[in-house]
């Protein structure tokens, strides 16, 4: 069982919560979200907001808070092989109520179908909020170009 090592990133001004499924090996090593260089998350966000892609963890943290975003993952712990969402077993959900109570989050997005599946299974009824599913920014989602991801 691997425990989620990264705390949620948000502040009292956060209005949009973006949830992944569970951090990749690279993200767990870096102790920050979307740490794999092939993941397109940071490039897509930069395109959406018309900014340069943040590169360092500090730039990424600042970017998220400056745009009133919040980041975390649906799962608090699970058994997983490497970074493959398809191998997740024994999943336990994060409690998102702290973020909701201490921010202005009005919209919740999930990054990909796996995050959506676990959000619906464990979190949607508890929070009483639906999440909007965006296509995964993972390199495994090769059918989506960076431009299609931005449009979505």
List active site positions: 39
Answer for the pair 68, 76: CB distance below 8 angstroms, yes or no.
Answer: no
Helix axes 57-66, 41-49, angle to 10 degrees: 40
What SS3 state is found at 109?
Answer: strand
Answer for the pair 75, 3: CB distance below 8 angstroms, yes or no.
Answer: no
Element (H, E) at 2: strand 2-3
């Amino acid at each position: 069982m691997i425990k989620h090592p990264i705390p949620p990133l948000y502040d009292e001004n956060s209005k949009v919560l973006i949830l992944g499924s569970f951090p990749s090996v690279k993200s767990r090593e870096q102790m920050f979200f979307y740490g794999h260089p092939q993941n397109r998350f940071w490039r897509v966000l930069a395109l959406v907001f018309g900014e340069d892609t943040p590169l360092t963890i500090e730039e990424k943290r600042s970017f998220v808070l400056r745009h009133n975003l919040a980041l975390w993952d649906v799962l608090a712990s699970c058994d997983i092989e490497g970074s493959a969402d398809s191998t997740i077993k024994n999943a336990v959900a994060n409690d998102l109520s702290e973020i909701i109570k201490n921010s202005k989050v009005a919209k919740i997005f999930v990054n990909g179908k796996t995050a959506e599946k676990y959000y619906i299974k464990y979190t949607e009824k508890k929070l009483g909020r639906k999440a909007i599913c965006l296509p995964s920014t993972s390199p495994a989602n090769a059918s989506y170009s960076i431009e299609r991801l931005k449009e979505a």
